[in-house]
């Protein structure tokens, strides 16, 4: 923003804008709020901007307020025709118009999108880089079936990042895998409300629901195998008994036999898609979520489910 030919007051405004907005934007995402004292909607929006930007401060977000009455020249340069007008600046350039975000959830959504796209350095991004391989290690150990070791990893990570959604969700799934369902339930109940819609938390809740439906594993491996064999015999003797097939599917889930569980649930859907208010399809969808929606196995089973439903 050139200062040649400007009045002393305009030069002062430009220098202040460079200091308070442009320079911070070189390393941070600056949310610029163009407002005025007489503007009612501005006053309504201010608490939303202040709260969300404070929440995102450790991720490199800074709030800068520009009074359009006191900074008419600056407002004109940005072609502000109505207020409130809210822009996002990074690297000295405007990167988004945030004016449409009038609620906390809307603003968070737009900021999350921007922060994923921009190379902003912050304490949170540094921590994320440190946590990412450790979270991946916990997930790998959990996938290998070592629930106790995975739980230990996620509990150590929770000490480092007590509100990280992937860490908290991973700990819940490890508790579920270890058969500690009541503890998993309590852990989910204690999560911050802001994480209620997190995909990882949804996956953890689905794992708990699926484990409760499957029921506890019975005694020793030999006893569990005998119980599973009895359910298989029961379902084979009465192929039209969908209740028996559903109990078998749940037992296979508990035993970690996801292929067999999927076969049973798909067979129920094929026989009667509305059986027990769609319980088989709902259980199958929970299994997909627990395994991971991007997993190739899930993609294969989704195709099978589509063929049953629409073939």
Q: Given a cut of 90, is residue 242 above it in pLDDT?
A: yes
Q: Which of 68, 66, 59 is nearest to 90 (CA)?
A: 59
| Residue 187 CA to its chain's centroid (Å) | 17
Distances from the Cα of 194 to the Cαs of 191, 197, 201, 247, in angstroms? 8, 7, 11, 36
Q: Give CA–CA dist 63/144, Å, rounded.
A: 45
Confidence band (pLDDT; 50, 70, 90) for 131?
A: confident
> Look-up: residue for tokens 């109940």?
189
Q: Where is pLDDT greater, at 217 or 242?
A: 242
**What are φ and ψ of residue 66, in 5° steps?**
-120, 110
DSSP state of 25: G
- Kindly report which listed range (93-97, 159-163, 274-278) carries the lowest average pLDDT score: 159-163
- Strand bridging mode 29-35 / 61-67: parallel
Q: Give pLDDT, residue 198.
A: 85
Q: Give CA–CA dist 209/206, Å, rounded.
A: 5
Q: Given a cut of 90, is residue 280 above it in pLDDT?
A: yes
Average pLDDT, whole number, for the chain?
A: 89
Confidence band (pLDDT; 50, 70, 90) for 272?
A: very high
Q: Given a cut of 90, is residue 204 above it in pLDDT?
A: yes
Q: Give pLDDT, residue 23.
A: 94
Which residues are known to be catalytic? Answer: 39, 42
Q: Give pLDDT, residue 145.
A: 87
**What are φ and ψ of residue 86, in 5° steps?**
-130, 120
Please name the residue ranges forming H helices in the chain: 8-17, 40-55, 72-77, 104-117, 123-143, 147-160, 165-177, 181-189, 199-214, 221-237, 242-254, 258-271, 279-291, 296-310
Q: Given a cut of 90, is residue 59 above it in pLDDT?
A: no
Confidence band (pLDDT; 50, 70, 90) for 108?
A: very high
Q: Where is pLDDT greater, at 275 or 145?
A: 275
Q: Given a cut of 60, is residue 3 above it in pLDDT?
A: no
Q: Given a cut of 80, is residue 301 above it in pLDDT?
A: yes
Percent of the chain with pLDDT over 70: 94
- Kindly report which listed range (9-18, 72-81, 84-93, 116-125) carries the lowest average pLDDT score: 116-125
Confidence band (pLDDT; 50, 70, 90) for 216?
A: low
**What are φ and ψ of residue 34, in 5° steps?**
-85, 120
């Amino acid at each position: 923003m050139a200062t040649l030919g400007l009045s002393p007051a305009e030069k002062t405004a430009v220098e202040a804008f460079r200091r308070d907005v442009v320079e911070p934007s070189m390393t941070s995402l600056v949310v610029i709020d163009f407002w005025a004292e007489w503007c009612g909607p501005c006053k309504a929006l201010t608490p939303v901007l202040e709260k969300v930007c404070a929440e995102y401060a450790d991720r490199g977000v800074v709030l800068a307020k520009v009074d359009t009455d006191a900074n008419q020249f600056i407002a004109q340069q940005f072609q502000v025709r109505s207020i409130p007008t809210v822009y996002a600046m990074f690297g000295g350039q405007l990167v988004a118009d945030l004016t449409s975000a009038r609620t906390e959830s809307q603003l968070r959504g737009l900021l999350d999108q921007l922060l994923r796209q921009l190379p902003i350095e912050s304490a949170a991004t540094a921590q994320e880089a440190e946590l990412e391989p450790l979270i991946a290690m916990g997930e790998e150990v959990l996938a290998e079936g070592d629930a106790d070791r995975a739980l230990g990893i996620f509990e150590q990570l929770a000490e480092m990042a007590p509100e990280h959604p992937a860490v908290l969700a991973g700990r819940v799934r490890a508790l579920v895998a270890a058969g500690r369902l009541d503890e998993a339930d309590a852990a989910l109940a204690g999560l911050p409300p802001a994480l209620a819609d997190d995909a990882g938390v949804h996956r953890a809740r689905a794992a708990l629901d699926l484990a409760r439906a499957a029921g506890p594993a019975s005694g020793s491996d030999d006893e569990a195998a005998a119980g599973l064999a009895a359910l298989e015999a029961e379902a084979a003797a009465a192929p039209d008994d969908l209740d028996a097939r559903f109990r078998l599917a749940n037992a296979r889930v508990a035993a970690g036999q996801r292929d067999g569980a999927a076969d049973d649930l798909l067979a129920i859907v094929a026989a009667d898609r509305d059986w027990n208010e769609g319980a088989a399809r709902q259980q199958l969808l929970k299994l997909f979520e627990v395994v991971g929606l991007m997993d190739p196995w899930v993609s294969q089973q989704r195709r099978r489910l589509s063929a049953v439903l629409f073939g």
